[in-house]
Amino acid sequence: MYERGKAFGYPFNEVFATIPAGTKVWHNRLQYWPTKPWNSRGGLVTIAGDAAHPMTFHRGQGLNNAITDAADFLVHLREMKEHTPAELKAAVRRYETELWPRGNEAVLASHENTNAVHDWNTMMSSPLFTEGLAKDKKEAEEAIAVAI
């Protein structure tokens, strides 16, 4: 870590330089796996949130997907005509069938974004850096001209 820290700018290089020799250092690799169908044990068990679609945090979509999971599951439960095991199994199946492709897409997009934000060339060519946040480039240029 000491050697790797030499490439960083101030103040981060100083932080690395102060690590005592022999200090154990761990690397936390960000884990993810694309969502795929699971066995719900005949509708008795299902999952939601991070358990259903564990993703890296750089897109900020984990909580959004977890809320969507809960809301969608509730919709399917409320649509049950009868409270029978067969109806529950069907409701769980509908919930999971909608979640699987959405979760898979979200996990893969999050992973792609994680890789992008850790590659300077990719970041510099992203729309955020090439176009900025303005809705209209002309509008942004006019705003800058007025400010000057």
Q: Mean pLDDT, the chain, as a whole number?
A: 88
What pLDDT score does 97 carry?
Answer: 97
What pLDDT score does 135 carry?
Answer: 66
Q: What is the pTM of this model?
A: 0.67
Ranges of residues in the chain with a pLDDT under 50 are none
The three-state (H, E, C) secondary structure of the chain, written as one string: CHHHHCCCCCCHHHHHHCCCCCCCCCCCCCCCCCCCCCCCCCCCCCCCHHHCCCCCCCCCCHHHHHHHHHHHHHHHHHCCCCCCHHHHHHHHHHHHHHHHHHHHHHHHHHHHHHHHHCCHHHHHCCHHHHHCCCCCHHHHHHHHHHHC
